[in-house]
Structure 1
Amino acid sequence: MSRQPRLSANDWRPLAPPRLGDWEPRLSVTVVIPAYRPHRLPLVLAALAAQSYPDHLLEVVVVDDHSDPPVELPEVRPANTRLLTTEHRWSKSNTCRTGIERSDGDVLHFLDSDMVPDHREVEAHLRWHHLIDYAAVLGFRTFVAEDALDHVTPAALRDHVAGGADVRALVTGDQVPQEWTERILAETDDLASAGPRAMRLHVGASTSVTRALASSSAGLPPELDLGEDIVFGYRLREAGAVFVPDRAAASVHLGESSVMSRTAQVNRFNHPHFAQLVPEFRGHRRAVPRSYAVPYAEVVLPADGATAEEVCAVVDAQLASTLPDVVVTLVGSWDDPETRGPVLDDPRLEQRLVRATYEHEPRVRLVAEPAQRSDATFRISLPDATAYPVGKALAQLLRRMELEHLGCVDVDLPHGGTARALRTAAHARALRTGAGPEEYDEALAASYPTTRMPAADAGFVAAADAPPVKQVRGLVAWGVTKAE
């Protein structure tokens, strides 16, 4: 029996959340509010003081990112509210990480210091986390003028929210919905048919995840002060997340977002950071072949038992393929011999030659064991060096997996054996929803579509039939033809 309900790709619709106000919560929640000169914080805390979620399960952590003057907690606030300070001024991500590390709620709910939530906002988030531990719940926000609630005192706002009235009823001036978000939701059945691309909507200032899911991901990127939501969303997806939008998790956003007010500048800042950290955005990486902090694909090859020439043929074919955004992980024995002897008679001569060939190549990793979960979006595991993808094969195979939202492709090799192309998000989901190793393949098939194909269809060729890797020099190497 599985630990968790099994959902396919991002189709959250099989879940049946309880009606708001008609269920018994049991999970604790920490609301993390990053604060840097938070002028509207008193209104945010006043609304949180009037939530329908039980007080004894609700903790609010305000993290001051060295505001000047320092943040002070207002009188109207939730009973269990704490004020923390980051050690160094750094970023919103670092501020949120401080809140995570110094709190203990089962669920982490991130709320910006200019977001005023409705009465059941927290409850709407939490009802999904009681169903599965791998949901990333996305709240909804309505944009209003920064001073749209200035005529309301925190105490009056608390009483209004406690009565269950919509915060928007108090707003003066225009109210602007999330138009871009609504368009994406309409095109994807509220993200249910978005597949792995659902992570692109992990933006905004009202999201929540279980602490367990956040801990199993790479977490928030402390080096970023913009675009951290998207990077965290990608990392959550790779940890197995399903993204669930809930309109009942509603808030009013006081003022424009940075993206709304300075779109071009925000995009200019985000572009190089996303290129390094989020392979999902393929267009950011296609201009010039280079290496990135997070690779798109990883090819894993056992090196022991093969000659150096056999291993190098496989590695060079991947490095010279039409997919430059790839790393090759060679699994083997790479330690130096403990005793000195004739090097040509060294029983580990082949490993020594392979290491000498690639130890300074950044796209080749020499490891004793591969990590349980790849840091790349896709991992292609070869059983040995007898057959492998060449030329356009790897790029075309992964393109098909992207278009069809495939989680796994098993490739039947020419002389026996199977190579497996595995989506990291599918692998992580299978681990979360399988009761044990014996149920892994069943859980994998339930998490994302899987298929099987012969080597010829996947572009895998036997080593004996593989074309030689050609070293193309000069401008031709970049796809530019020299002038006649």
Structure 2
Amino acid sequence: MIARVVGNDYRSLTPPEPGAWTPSLRVSVVVPAYGGQDKLDLVLAGLAGQTYPEDLTEVIVVDNGSDPPLRLPELRPAGTRLVACPVPGRAHARNAGLRAATGDVVHWLDSDVVLDRQAVEAHMRWHHAAPYLVVTGRLRFTPAPLPTAREVAEAPDLAELFEPAEPHAWLVDLIERTSGLTDGRSRAFSLHVGGATSVNAALLAEAGPMDTDLVLGQDTEMGYRLAQAGAVFVPEPLARAFHLGPTMRMRDKAPIDRVSHAFVADRIPAYRWLRSHPARQWKVPYLEVVVESDGDPGYDEVRASVDAVLAGTVPDVAVTVPGPWEHAGVEGRAPLRDPHLDLTLILGHYAHEGRVRFTSSTPGQAGRPGESSWGAVPYRLRLPAGWTPGEDTLARLLDLATDGGYGLVSVLLAEDAERGLIVARLERTAAFARAAIVAADGEPLDDAVQDTFGTFWADGETYGFLREARTPAGRRGAYRARAEAQAEIARLTKEAERLRGQVTRWREEAGRWRRSAVELRREVGTLRKELAAARKVVQYGLLSSVKRAITRRR
């Protein structure tokens, strides 16, 4: 049974301890190189001294058009081959090495990175624990002067040759602030760097080769596709690797980011901050909505669903409509008597809408898990034709799925006596790809998704689904909504001014009452004094009268 990792929490795996196990998987170390024979010699000398069995290791050096051509030095692993790739570009060189690789695991290694003695073993112990891992070592950057190849081959500890060295600050920060990439909200695929990363070969076959159309950012883009193929990303501190000098990004980060971001934004939907434009389309959308029908799709039902999806507040969306489209648009047949008229109408209505595509099979059910004509889409909503989401429905569902980390959100739309439950399903591509890897024979994928990512049920009415066509607000609706909002703002502003005036009047009235109260207190005080004086006068007068009366009697 294949181990099931929840999210990216690889801590549930128990890899064997280095030096205390018997490996069985073969590893292909792919080293693309352009020039730099002196550094390549050190890299191969480091590989020659690895603790991982030599009979389970092959090294493929890809000469990417060096002049003079590269050569294999004397100090190298026994199973080392030199492959030529005249097409310039590291992605082309990597793909050439990938095609030549025969191992169970592919270990990318730059031609200026020297691995510590147990680095390959530290990587491979993880790959023996689960077949869907991406492991990256701990890169450190060492300055000149460089040692000789003989010194590298004979040193018991490469730290003696290369320390002090600087850590890969960006990777260290990523790992530390995400609890070693186990935080469910981390973009763990960013760990995939070509300098010292190993990948299960079958997982690579699912994700596909390096994207040769990219100028920069190929490693990160491949990491993203590996994530969609179900990968778990593991940082391995025991796999030390020494980079000979700084990287190009360390020297020129700002201009490199400028070039890289211009291209990866189209291909990595997870980098939301690169997609700040409110309306434009991208090569790989964030959400694909598959409008599904029982039998041939009906024009009115499909149009209701598609129009509602495209009118929502999630612009980064695409729509796929599966069906037998080969029957549509047959010439020479009376259109009103055409048994496949609805197919023709659907095709004709959306023929020039770039966000709508038509397939003969449902994405994710035929071919590789998560496969789509749109590329590696991270989320897919399966929506029964005729059901329509509200303007904010898709955004709310995506927030629910991402905040909870769920692999599946099932939305109960209705209950039918014949069909049973009618459900829309928001599926996370990575979750179903992982489920396809770990599921036992005959086990429903939903059960494996529950174990690895979790699932959630939601109420369709609560999230704004209706079984009726909606009138998209469109631009006029947006203008009307904006005018209504501005009118409401003006009304509230006027009301606020009225209330402020009333408060001012109340304050003035309260001031008058306070002044009246003070004057009243003063008058009361005066009256009290006068009353006291009167009492004294009266008392004195009575006393005098009594005294006079007594005197007369005497």
Superposition TM-score, scaled by structure 2 size: 0.81
Residue of structure 2 aligned with 1:461, choices 462, 465, 474: 465
1:307 deviates by: 3.4
What are the residue-to-residue correspondences of 1:84-483 with 2, within 5 Å?
Answer: 84-89=83-88, 91-145=89-143, 147-148=144-145, 150=146, 152-160=147-155, 163=156, 165=157, 167-171=158-162, 174-195=164-185, 197-203=187-193, 205-303=195-293, 304-335=295-326, 336=328, 340-372=332-364, 373=370, 374=372, 375-385=376-386, 387-415=387-415, 416-457=421-462, 459-464=463-468, 467-472=470-475
Q: Distance in 2 between matches of 1:360 and 1:437?
A: 42
Change in 2 beyond 3 A, CA 1:366/1:265: same
Given that 1:92 and 1:224 are in contact with CA atoms closer than 8 Å, whether structure 2 keeps it comes out as no
Q: Distance in 1 between matches of 2:286 and 2:279?
A: 12
1:401-421, Cα deviation, whole Å (9 max, x unpaired): 222222110000045411100
Q: Distance in 2 between matches of 1:204 and 1:58?
A: 18
Q: Distance in 1 between matches of 2:390 and 2:309?
A: 7
Change in 2 beyond 3 A, CA 1:394/1:475: closer
The residue type equivalent to 1:444 in the other structure is V
1:315-350, Cα deviation, whole Å (9 max, x unpaired): 011112111111111111212366732111111111
Given that 1:47 and 1:117 are in contact with CA atoms closer than 8 Å, whether structure 2 keeps it comes out as yes
- Give unmatched runs, 5+ long, in structure 1: none
1:305 deviates by: 4.7
Given that 1:414 and 1:462 are in contact with CA atoms closer than 8 Å, whether structure 2 keeps it comes out as no
Given that 1:359 and 1:366 are in contact with CA atoms closer than 8 Å, whether structure 2 keeps it comes out as no
Mean alpha-carbon deviation: is it higher for 112-121 or for 394-403? 394-403
Change in 2 beyond 3 A, CA 1:476/1:271: farther
- Give unmatched runs, 5+ long, in structure 2: 365-369, 416-420, 488-554
- Give % identity: 38
The residue type equivalent to 1:472 in the other structure is R
1:474 deviates by: 11
Q: In the alignment, is residue 68 of structure 1 matched against residue 60 of structure 2?
A: no
Q: Distance in 1 between matches of 2:211 and 2:184?
A: 25
1:257 deviates by: 1.3
1:160-213, Cα deviation, whole Å (9 max, x unpaired): 1xx3x2x122126x4211222222222222112245621122235110011101
1:291 deviates by: 1.8
1:71 deviates by: 1.2
Given that 1:61 and 1:103 are in contact with CA atoms closer than 8 Å, whether structure 2 keeps it comes out as yes
Relative contact order, CA 8 A, sep 6+: which one is greater?
Answer: 1
Given that 1:94 and 1:223 are in contact with CA atoms closer than 8 Å, whether structure 2 keeps it comes out as no
Change in 2 beyond 3 A, CA 1:117/1:284: same
Query: How many residues in Structure 1 have an aligned counterpart in Structure 2?
Result: 470
Q: Distance in 2 between matches of 1:86 and 1:288?
A: 42
Where 2:199 maps in the other structure, the secondary structure is: strand
Given that 2:305 and 2:385 are in contact with CA atoms closer than 8 Å, whether structure 1 keeps it comes out as no
Q: Distance in 2 between matches of 1:29 and 1:306?
A: 49
Mean alpha-carbon deviation: is it higher for 290-299 or for 205-214? 290-299
Q: Distance in 1 between matches of 2:355 and 2:130?
A: 37
Where 1:472 maps in the other structure, the secondary structure is: helix
Q: Distance in 2 between matches of 1:209 and 1:195?
A: 22
Change in 2 beyond 3 A, CA 1:195/1:108: farther
1:9-49, Cα deviation, whole Å (9 max, x unpaired): 10101111111011111111110001012241111100100
The residue type equivalent to 1:272 in the other structure is A
1:473 deviates by: 5.7
Where 2:134 maps in the other structure, the secondary structure is: strand
1:438 deviates by: 2.9
The residue type equivalent to 2:301 in the other structure is E
Change in 2 beyond 3 A, CA 1:105/1:305: closer
Where 1:298 maps in the other structure, the secondary structure is: strand
Change in 2 beyond 3 A, CA 1:426/1:445: same
Larger radius of gyration: 2
Superposition TM-score, scaled by structure 1 size: 0.92
Mean alpha-carbon deviation: is it higher for 336-345 or for 9-18? 336-345
Q: Distance in 1 between matches of 2:186 and 2:400?
A: 13
Given that 1:11 and 1:195 are in contact with CA atoms closer than 8 Å, whether structure 2 keeps it comes out as no
| Higher helix proportion (structure 1 or 2) | 2
Change in 2 beyond 3 A, CA 1:398/1:180: same
CA RMSD of aligned residues (A): 2.3
